[in-house]
Amino acid sequence: MNRGSIARTAIDPRHPVRVDAQMLDASALPSYAFGHRSLMWWGTLGLIAIEGTVFALAIVSYFYLRSLAPRWPLNALPPELLWGTLNTVVLLASMLPNHMLKRAAEAGDLRRLRIAFLACLAFSLVFLMVRVFEFRGLNVWWDTDAYGSVVWLLLGLHTLHLITDTYDTGVLAVLMFTGPLEGRRLVDASENAQYWYFVVLSWLPIYFVIYLAPHIPQ
Amino acid sequence: MSSTAFDALKPSGMPRPRGNGVPPTAADSAALERTWRDPPGLVGWLSAINHKSIARRFVLTTFGFFLAGGLLALLMRLQLAVPRNTLVGPDLYNQLFSMHGTTMMFLFAVPVMQAVAGYLIPLMIGARSVAFPRMNAYAYWVFLFGGLMLYAAFLLDIGPDAGWFSYVPLAGPDYSPGKRVDFWAQLITFTELSALLEAAIIITTVFKLRAPGMTLARIPLFVWAMLVTAFMVLFSMPSVMLASTALIMDRLVGTHFYNPAQNGDVLLWQHLFWFFGHPEVYLIFLPGLGFISAIVPTFARRPIFGYTAMVLSLIATGFLAFGLWVHHMFATNLPELGKSFFTAVSMLIAIPSAVQIFCWLATLATGRLNLKTPLLFVLAFFFILVMGGLTGVMLASVPLDLQVHDTYFVVAHLHYVLLGGAVFPLVGAIYYWYPKFTGRLMSERLGQWNFWLFFIGFNVAFFPMHLLGLQGMPRRVYTYPAEMGWGTMNFIATLGAAMIAVSVLLFIVNLLRSRRHGEPAGPDPWGGGTLEWATLSPPAAANFDAIPVVHGSNPVWEEATRPPGTPSAVGGLAVDAREQLVTSVLDAQPDHRSQFPEPSIWPFLSAVATTVLFVGSIFTPWAVVWGAVPVAVATTAWFWPRRRETRTHVALEQQP
Amino acid sequence: MPLAAAAVLLLACMGAHASPLQDVLSPAGPQASHIRDLWHITLAVCTLVFAGVLAALVLVLWRSPRAASTTAAELRPAAARERRSGRRVGAAIAASVLLLLFLIVASVLTDRAIAQLALKDAVRIEITANQWWWEARYDDDDPSRTFTTANELHIPVGRPVLFTLKSNDVIHSLWVPNLHGKKDLIPGRTATLQLRADKPGVYRGQCAEFCGFQHAFMAFLVVAHPLADYEAWAAGQRRSAVASGDAQAVRGRELFLGGTCVMCHTVLGTTASAHRGPDLTHFASRQTLAAGTLANTPEDLQRWIRNPQQFKPGVNMPASNLPDEDIKALAAYLRSLS
């Protein structure tokens, strides 16, 4: 018996070939794929798991500190509902061009893809601007007390994601205009859309905690 | 599907690069070697992304930190050898034990496992590389720079001195002024970033790059262990990231997360830290279990007994590990009923580990034993880890814990489980895979001496600590009064530490000598059954000239009994371009071909930029803003496609 | 050879066992007793399991045939043997589960036994931990009967003691192993600990949560007396400091009240009423100084006053550059505060 024959025939070409060796021919397989078939999808999923856990733990910390406090907010008015609610609407609306982006990427339609990228970037501009007003409307500073600290933490963490998502989208948008392109870039665009979904949807529980939870009796 | 607009932006293609044959020809082999090897020169070394090169550096670096941490421990033991010793004062001693714990936990124990996995996993699953090779390189550099930052601080006498878990308020702005604790907290950021990226890489690699036919039910148990570990990293490390960021903010910008005077909570730190900290020790333990499951079958000449039970045990341990953290807080004023729940879970987690132990014993009992050095180190596990696990069961009980918590009993327990469960198997794993990494076997004779010195020295050093704890000696004391009667056992422990040092020296001698004088190994010196033993020693740059097609759990053992007429390997993958086969998650059916990136200096430069951002933000919060610019530039350059590479990919392109 | 080494190690460890001071296995009260009993039960079970695993391993090593790296691997082990292995593994798992359940129950029962302490007529002591000393305020329903001391607690034998635990700075942990397990003193939180001493004696405790430079020297004594002796001690602690007639002590008192000592210390009955350091009203009645760091003897006291940093580097008390006779006078004054 030919122990180690994989080594002998497949790696070490100095040794004789196995007569009944047969090949699985991969040459005709596609060279890229969308969704969970792609490596990028799994990388993005890993990022989502990590960031989702961070958000979840920050939210748990919020309620933990609240459970120990005599009143909540401690010494401040609750955050103004206007700006947060407005931004929630903007973020949710941004899912439309984002979805268009994903479909265009999977269809390979460059024209629609470029339009979708520009639309997404426009939305980014708006929600980042409104986010500035949100911070000002929090009615508390990060160093006032623990309530201020945890509210700024939540809003700050999410804002970090908005900024990095905007930057990613911007870089890809430029690439869509300048090239060089290949099929894999369509997958990158599709996965960017995936991440965008996460950034928008993860906002919803954070919105609830920052803006609505102070109105719920302890 | 394609639109002309899209095609117009693709660089004009070249002829499609040819794929490999089965069996691969000498030309295939040479081409693959050229394609996958690291570029030469200094810039080439900094640009390298071959998973084996990165893993080698990573393992060597973690080993360097292990030696540093060990020297710190030796200094501690010298100070504690006699009562009221004046070798080391309280300030230095506090830095020593903080640095020792931080080094071993964050710079050695977890990273070394990920590093070894980074080398072995592609080989074991029949892949040419890990899923994200450049990110793999970046993760290494970030880790290295973080460790260097910490030791620079220590050598400047501003090393952290609040312990490896840095409790507030001691570690807060009021009681730890200066930058010491900030360096510690930022080290967490570095190592946690590195570990999280490695975890995402491991998961993606294991799920998507397996050789055809290697269903999830056929992957080696070591790969299962690393997969479960990687998932645990994803969900536990964010907790310490959040905790340490909040700590830095309390210290630097005046937040009040942990400040009770402004309605923050001191215990919030402990909850967030230990929610990470307990899974952390399993991040170290599970890979050790994986090593044992790799070594035992080879040296018992049979597949592992109870593969399914072993997999389920790994997964169960991974889940349960998240439900134990409060057992580190039994002495606080948390509600008693809650504590009892954690007693129960802390004891029950012993069961999946017991399942593994019994299955290994069954494997050894029904196998035929080849008593070489790797197996010896694994056998040590049955003594040392089992003892450590049993003292763990003791500590799980609230009343017992209330007596021995924060005493040398815990120091004994943690060293028994960490060394017994991870370090001994790791040393065994080095003896096992050294021939694969280098092409030569380590010396058996030196190995035996290494083993016995380590085993005996370990027990001499740490067993007395159980008794010291029961006799009332607390942890983290730089000295103790003579009238307590702790002197003799402390002295014995120091002797044991010296023995360990000698054994480590022997290990190093063995490692170095065997590079030149070790017996040449060939591909499979131990007669192993998993795929890494089907490659050259050391493996070629591309690992396999033709990706094997697998039909069972022990492909090398089963090669002879492969059903005739079934494919033995994958053909048609490019030899002049970096191409791999991506397969489906559950059954590893061929799905598509993926083009992989070429070596690049940008991961290294991005890590430098990241380091500037992280270290700068210890000194000013504005560093986060202006430091973000070089990071953005470097990561964009990293991502930005190159024309030549894109041309090659287009030549290989096939729409889905 | 390893077996011989193990035997020597074990004997050395057992022989090295010294004082029952601060010893978990020398209980002097019901809490520590229950814990000691649980320890013995758990130790027995764990030793049994450990011996079992080792015996199995030794058996396996002894009986399994040997092989080399070139021996062919057994890909299809005999089904009957595999089934037998399965049964044995199953039995071992079942036994492990049962033993663990037993230990869980034993632990919970011990927990409940420890908590069952009738608190009628309890002595109530509020402990506030500081870096690196212990302040103890004995509470009473009648406020005129409360008093404050430091680093040495006296309690009556046979009576419950209820501690209220607070911290002024970082986390500390109160631990007197002869009497009970430890409890953390956490800033911003109030914890409680209840125990009872059933035997008269002097029991040593030590801070058991790393709290900075001098964590190693933050000890305290718990002195358990029969009730009458305790009442006498408490009555003495309630009195203000009695002025001593001795000339050196009078000079020392002048230096004390006119110098920097009053910035940190209290002596009831004088103008010294700061709380940064231990209350010294009855300093001479204590056996140790600096939280168990030194014995309370005239020589050690003088050396301490001259330079505390020599014995407890990092401590908050500064060194003194007074001339020697002044130091002696201060020491004499403090030694008169009984």
pLDDT at position B562 is 82
In the structure encoding, which two tokens stand for residue B465, read together? 């600590």
- Distance in Å, alpha carbon of A179 to nearest chain B alpha carbon: 5
For the residues A149-176, what does the mean pLDDT come to? 97
Give the position of tokens 């404050």: C148
- Distance in Å, alpha carbon of A108 to nearest chain B alpha carbon: 5
pLDDT at A127 over 90: yes
For the residues C96-121, what does the mean pLDDT come to? 95
Closest chain A residue to the Cα of B543, Cα to Cα: A11
For the residues B98-118, what does the mean pLDDT come to? 98
Q: Compute the distance between CA of residue B195 and CA of residue B147 in angstroms, rounded to an integer.
A: 13
| Residues of chain B contacting residue C210, judged by C-beta atoms under 8 Å apart | 162-163, 167, 170, 406, 475-476
Residue B143 CA: distances (Å) to CA of A182, B107, B187, B402, B430: 33, 8, 9, 37, 21
Contact B616, B578 (CB under 8 A): no
pLDDT at position C12 is 64
Nearest to C278 by CA among C152, C146, C193: C152
For the residues C96-100, what does the mean pLDDT come to? 97
Q: Compute the distance between CA of residue B227 and CA of residue B113 in angstroms, rounded to an integer.
A: 12
Give the position of tokens 């500035």: A132
Q: Do B343 and C108 touch (CB under 8 A)?
A: yes
Contact C203, C192 (CB under 8 A): no
Find out whether the peptide bond into B563 is cis, omega within 30 degrees of 0.
no
Of the candidates C39, C88, C108, the beta carbon closest to that of B400 is on: C39
| Radius of gyration for the alpha carbons in chain A, expressed in angstroms and rounded | 25
pLDDT at position A16 is 35
| B209-218, C113-122, C215-224: least confidently modelled range | C113-122
Best B168, B301, B451 member to test C by mutation, with max C CBs in 10 Å, is: B301
Best B132, B206, B263 member to test A by mutation, with max A CBs in 10 Å, is: B263
For the residues C301-309, what does the mean pLDDT come to? 96
Strands lying side by side in the sheet with C219-225: C152-156, C219-225, C201-206
Q: Compute the distance between CA of residue B249 and CA of residue B267 in angstroms, rounded to an integer.
A: 17
Nearest to C20 by CA among A180, B360, B484, A108: B484
Residue C196: what residue type?
A: R
Q: Compute the distance between CA of residue B145 and CA of residue B164 in angstroms, rounded to an integer.
A: 19
Angle formed at CA B406 by CA B405 and CA B409, multiple of 5 degrees? 70
The share of chain A scoring above pLDDT 90, in percent, equals 86
- The residues with which B548 forms a beta bridge, in sequence order, are B569
Contact B291, B342 (CB under 8 A): no
| Residues of chain A contacting residue B523, judged by C-beta atoms under 8 Å apart | 4, 7, 11
pLDDT at C15 over 80: no
pLDDT at position B14 is 87
Q: Compute the distance between CA of residue B53 and CA of residue B59 in angstroms, rounded to an integer.
A: 10
Of the candidates A10, A69, A167, the beta carbon closest to that of B263 is on: A69
Condensed to tens digits (0 to 9), the pLDDT of residues B440-472 reads 999 999 999 999 999 999 999 999 999 999 999
Condensed to tens digits (0 to 9), the pLDDT of residues A167-187 reads 999 999 999 999 899 999 999
pLDDT at B612 over 70: yes
pLDDT at C18 over 60: no
Condensed to tens digits (0 to 9), the pLDDT of residues C177-196 reads 999 999 999 999 999 999 99
Q: Do B90 and C214 touch (CB under 8 A)?
A: yes
Of the candidates B303, B364, B404, the beta carbon closest to that of C75 is on: B303
Nearest to A147 by CA among B255, B476, B226: B255
pLDDT at A12 over 90: no
| Per-chain mean pLDDT for chain B | 96
DSSP, collapsed to helix, strand or coil, labels residue B9 as coil
In the structure encoding, which two tokens stand for residue A58, read together? 């920050």
| Per-chain mean pLDDT for chain C | 93
For the residues C273-294, what does the mean pLDDT come to? 94
For residue B616, count other CB atoms closer than 10 A to its CB: 17
Q: Compute the distance between CA of residue B189 and CA of residue B242 in angstroms, rounded to an integer.
A: 9
Contact B228, B216 (CB under 8 A): no
- Going by the DSSP 8-state scheme, the letter that residue B216 receives in this structure is G
Nearest to C217 by CA among C207, C231, C228, C232: C207
For the residues C11-23, what does the mean pLDDT come to? 69
> Which residues fall within 8 angstroms of residue C324, CB to CB, at 6 or more apart?
none
Closest chain B residue to the Cα of A35, Cα to Cα: B656
Note the ipTM here. Answer: 0.95
Condensed to tens digits (0 to 9), the pLDDT of residues C61-83 reads 999 999 999 999 999 999 999 99
The share of chain C scoring above pLDDT 70, in percent, equals 94
Written as one string, the DSSP assignment of B538-595 is SPBTTB-SS-B---SSSHHHHGGGPPTTS--EEE--BSSS-EEEEE-TTT--EEEEEE
pLDDT at A4 over 90: no
Q: Compute the distance between CA of residue B510 and CA of residue C190 in angstroms, rounded to an integer.
A: 56
Closest chain C residue to the Cα of B485, Cα to Cα: C18
Q: Compute the distance between CA of residue B212 and CA of residue B589 in angstroms, rounded to an integer.
A: 5
Q: Compute the distance between CA of residue B90 and CA of residue C309 in angstroms, rounded to an integer.
A: 11
Q: Is C295 left (phi over 0), alpha (psi -120 to 50) or beta?
A: beta
pTM of the model: 0.95
Of the candidates A12, A25, A68, the beta carbon closest to that of B571 is on: A25
Written as one string, the DSSP assignment of A141-154 is -TTT-HHHHHHHHH
pLDDT at B181 over 60: yes
Q: Compute the distance between CA of residue A166 and CA of residue A121 in angstroms, rounded to an integer.
A: 7
Written as one string, the DSSP assignment of B67-95 is HHHHHHHHHHHHHHSSTT--SS-HHHHHH
Choose between B9 and A183: higher pLDDT: A183
Best B559, B566, B624 member to test A by mutation, with max A CBs in 10 Å, is: B559
Q: Compute the distance between CA of residue B270 and CA of residue B327 in angstroms, rounded to an integer.
A: 11
- Distance in Å, alpha carbon of C252 to nearest chain B alpha carbon: 30
Could you give phi then psi for residue C129, rounded to 5 degrees? Answer: -90, 145
Condensed to tens digits (0 to 9), the pLDDT of residues B526-550 reads 999 999 999 999 999 999 999 999 9
Closest chain B residue to the Cα of A179, Cα to Cα: B9
pLDDT at position A15 is 35
What are the helix (H) ranges across C129-282? 227-238, 247-258
Contact C178, C23 (CB under 8 A): yes
pLDDT at C1 over 70: no
In the structure encoding, which two tokens stand for residue B627, read together? 């430091």
Nearest to B415 by CA among B73, B42, B17: B73
Contact B466, B409 (CB under 8 A): yes
Q: Do B22 and A69 touch (CB under 8 A)?
A: no
pLDDT at position B22 is 85
Instruction: For strands C288-289 and C294-295, give the pairing.
Output: antiparallel
Closest chain B residue to the Cα of C293, Cα to Cα: B481
Nearest to A25 by CA among B21, B405, B117: B21
For the residues B291-301, what does the mean pLDDT come to? 98
- Distance in Å, alpha carbon of C205 to nearest chain B alpha carbon: 8
If pLDDT is split at 50, 70 and 90, which confidence band does B253 have? Answer: very high
For residue C66, count other CB atoms closer than 10 A to its CB: 10
> Which residues fall within 8 angstroms of residue A22, CB to CB, at 6 or more apart?
B22, B565, B566, B567, B568
In the structure encoding, which two tokens stand for residue C218, read together? 């933050």
Of the candidates B305, B372, B472, the beta carbon closest to that of C177 is on: B472
The share of chain B scoring above pLDDT 90, in percent, equals 95
Residue A132: what residue type?
A: V
For the residues B582-607, what does the mean pLDDT come to? 96
> Which residues fall within 8 angstroms of residue A154, CB to CB, at 6 or more apart?
A55, A58, A59, A62, A206, A209, A210
Q: Compute the distance between CA of residue C22 and CA of residue C252 in angstroms, rounded to an integer.
A: 36
In the structure encoding, which two tokens stand for residue B152, read together? 């620079």
Best C26, C41, C89 member to test B by mutation, with max B CBs in 10 Å, is: C89
pLDDT at B563 over 90: no
In the structure encoding, which two tokens stand for residue A130, read together? 């409104």
DSSP, collapsed to helix, strand or coil, labels residue C189 as coil
What are the helix (H) ranges across B159-216? 180-208
Of the candidates A22, A32, A57, the beta carbon closest to that of B567 is on: A22
pLDDT at A10 over 50: no
For the residues B498-506, what does the mean pLDDT come to? 98
For the residues B590-619, what does the mean pLDDT come to? 97
pLDDT at A21 over 90: no
Q: Do A143 and B207 touch (CB under 8 A)?
A: no
Q: Compute the distance between CA of residue A72 and CA of residue A67 in angstroms, rounded to an integer.
A: 9
Residue B638 CA: distances (Å) to CA of A100, A177, B163, B195, C269: 27, 19, 37, 20, 76
Contact B652, B645 (CB under 8 A): no
Closest chain A residue to the Cα of B204, Cα to Cα: A42
If pLDDT is split at 50, 70 and 90, which confidence band does C88 have? Answer: very high
Closest chain B residue to the Cα of C210, Cα to Cα: B476
Contact C156, C236 (CB under 8 A): no
Q: Compute the distance between CA of residue A11 and CA of residue B163 in angstroms, rounded to an integer.
A: 51
Of the candidates B90, B382, B398, the beta carbon closest to that of C53 is on: B382
Give the position of tokens 């030309």: B27
Give the position of tokens 């090669």: B559
Contact C34, C28 (CB under 8 A): no
